[in-house]
């Protein structure tokens, strides 16, 4: 079978991970703080802020039809109340480059990083953040809305709950923590109030309200833009005795957010692996399991399972992130191929999936882990910023050209 007409085949990036020089963001400050939890600073990253036309051209030439990227709030509003016209002009040109190349853009308005000044106000624990975020979204859409057919308000709106669970798991079993990840859960007093560390109930409510307010602002400024949010969704699989715990994990990471999605046009699904759950919580990986550079189990079947469960939201879905960190590109090809077979089964069964965005377009800055994990379809020599297309990019690009699996 072929995929439906208009099915989007794309790759994804996040501004802070690829643009470089995001000096007014909260993460830049954290990267350079004494005793930083980051393995290394982001620095020039992939210099995508300068080389975006080259990168979009590579996607076009490979056969892709879509590009998901983020607009950086810290660039657009580097100081509280000051809007950078230069940043707006830059992102207008990125969008125009997409349209000129025949690439459908999907814009994320917040991908983990925020302006540094927001931290001073209380960050994502601050009650006024939803209104400030909505004002930024309205301003961007008022300027650029006609160029943006799809807008995701917040990337992985549920990530703080997953992060909290992950850190708790590493505290119990530190040998399972990926290299470079802190193994002690920060206490409330020392934890920064950035988006990724918004673990309190108050913070989670701020995030939900920010999505609702942003959706309203986007629709007011650009009624034709379709709006949604993306979620990191694990394939929770229960071992005997873990059935209730697995259901609770799914509920807290997805179902608890459903009221905030009432009025959305689509749901972004992001998946990388599965999690085994027993009566006492997360279980270790099966003995002998193949692991990725992130310490995840190589389990491409997870994508199909998660899409079928997430369909209960009743929204059209895009796979907005899916991929694997590996230095062996042949394993990336196999991972994607097997996952897409499951995606094809979902579509054949009537599950409303309208596009697939691979994470990521470029080998990039992987937050606290620095540049060690290789997620990209395209390698980057960061000394010269030279791009090298991997075989996996060609394989996925050929699938995009055919709009069908071989």
Q: Which run of H or of E encompasses 212?
A: helix 201-221
Model's pTM, two decimal places? 0.94
What pLDDT digit, counting tens, does each position of 60-84 carry? 999 999 999 999 999 999 999 999 9
pLDDT band at 1 (very low <50, low <70, confident <90, very high): confident
pLDDT band at 187 (very low <50, low <70, confident <90, very high): very low
Give the list of residues 6+ apart from residue 189 with CB closer than 8 angstroms, or none.
none
- What percent of the chain is predicted at pLDDT more than 90? 89
Return d(Cα 49, Cα 76) in angstroms, integer: 13
SS3 content of the chain, % helix, strand, coil (to 5): 45, 20, 40
Return d(Cα 242, Cα 111) in angstroms, integer: 33
The predicted structure's pLDDT at residue 257: 97
Task: Report the 10 Å Cβ neighbour count for 85.
Answer: 9
Return d(Cα 137, Cα 110) in angstroms, integer: 9
- Catalytic residue numbers read 156
DSSP 78: S
Q: How many CA atoms lie within 13 A of 108 on its CB side?
A: 26
Indicate if the pLDDT at residue 47 is higher than 60. yes
| Domain spans of the chain, in order of start | 8-400
Contact between 147 and 104 under an 8 Å Cβ cutoff? The reply is no
Return d(Cα 360, Cα 320) in angstroms, integer: 10
Q: Which single residue is written with the structure tokens 């400024």?
A: 221
DSSP 400: H
What pLDDT digit, counting tens, does each position of 227-243 carry? 999 999 999 999 999 99
Q: What does the block give as tokens for 247?
A: 């259901």
Indicate if the pLDDT at residue 95 is higher than 60. yes
Helix, strand or coil for residue 160? helix
The predicted structure's pLDDT at residue 169: 52
| Residue, of 58 and 168, whose pLDDT is higher | 58
Q: Which single residue is written with the structure tokens 């830059």?
A: 90
The predicted structure's pLDDT at residue 256: 96
Once rounded to an integer, what is the mean pLDDT over residues 358-378?
98
Give the list of residues 6+ apart from residue 9 with CB closer than 8 angstroms, or none.
63, 64, 65, 66, 355, 356, 396, 397, 399, 400, 403
The predicted structure's pLDDT at residue 200: 87
pLDDT band at 330 (very low <50, low <70, confident <90, very high): very high
How many DSSP H helices and E strands does the chain contain?
A: 13, 13
pLDDT band at 168 (very low <50, low <70, confident <90, very high): low
Give the list of residues 6+ apart from residue 244 with CB closer than 8 angstroms, or none.
none
CATH code of the domain made up of 8-400: 3.20.20.80
The mean-pLDDT minimum among 181-185, 229-233, 277-281, 368-372 falls in 181-185
| Residue, of 265 and 164, whose pLDDT is higher | 265
Indicate if the pLDDT at residue 198 is higher than 60. yes
């Amino acid at each position: 079978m072929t995929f439906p007409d208009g099915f989007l085949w794309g790759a994804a990036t996040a501004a802070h991970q690829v643009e470089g020089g995001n000096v007014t963001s909260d993460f830049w400050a954290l990267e350079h703080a004494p005793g930083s939890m980051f393995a290394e600073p982001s620095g020039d990253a992939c210099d995508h802020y300068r080389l975006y036309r080259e990168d979009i051209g590579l996607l076009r030439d490979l056969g892709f039809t879509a590009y998901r990227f983020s607009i950086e709030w810290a660039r657009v509003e580097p100081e509280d109340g000051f809007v950078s016209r230069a940043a707006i002009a830059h992102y207008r040109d990125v969008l125009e480059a997409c349209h000129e190349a025949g690439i459908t853009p999907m814009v994320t308005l917040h991908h983990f990083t925020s302006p540094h000044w927001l931290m001073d106000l209380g960050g994502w624990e601050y009650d006024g953040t939803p209104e400030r975020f909505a004002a930024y979204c309205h301003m961007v859409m008022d300027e650029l809305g006609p160029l943006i057919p799809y807008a995701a308000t917040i990337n992985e709106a549920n990530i703080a709950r997953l992060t909290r669970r992950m850190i708790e798991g590493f505290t119990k079993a530190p040998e399972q923590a990926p290299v470079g990840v802190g193994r002690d859960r920060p206490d409330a007093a020392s934890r920064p109030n950035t988006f990724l560390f918004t673990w309190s109930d108050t913070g989670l409510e701020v995030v939900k309200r920010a999505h609702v307010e942003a959706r309203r602002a986007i629709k007011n400024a650009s009624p034709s833009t379709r709006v949604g949010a993306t979620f990191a969704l694990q394939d929770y699989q229960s071992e005997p005795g873990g059935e209730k715990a697995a259901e609770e994990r799914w509920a807290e990471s997805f179902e608890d957010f459903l009221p905030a999605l009432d009025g959305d046009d689509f749901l972004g699904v992001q998946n990388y692996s599965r999690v085994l759950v027993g009566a006492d919580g997360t279980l270790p990986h099966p003995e002998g399991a193949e692991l990725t550079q992130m310490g995840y189990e190589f389990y491409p079947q997870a994508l199909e399972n998660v899409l079928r469960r997430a369909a209960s939201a009743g929204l059209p879905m895009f796979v907005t992130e899916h991929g694997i960190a590996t230095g062996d590109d042949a394993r990336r090809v196999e991972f994607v191929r097997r996952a897409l077979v499951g995606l094809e089964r979902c579509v054949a069964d009537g599950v409303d999936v309208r596009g697939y965005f691979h994470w990521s377009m470029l080998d990039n800055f992987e937050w606290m882990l620095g540049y060690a994990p290789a997620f990209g379809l395209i390698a980057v020599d960061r000394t010269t910023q030279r791009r090298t297309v991997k075989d996996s990019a060609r394989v996925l690009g050929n699938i995009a050209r055919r709009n069908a699996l071989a």
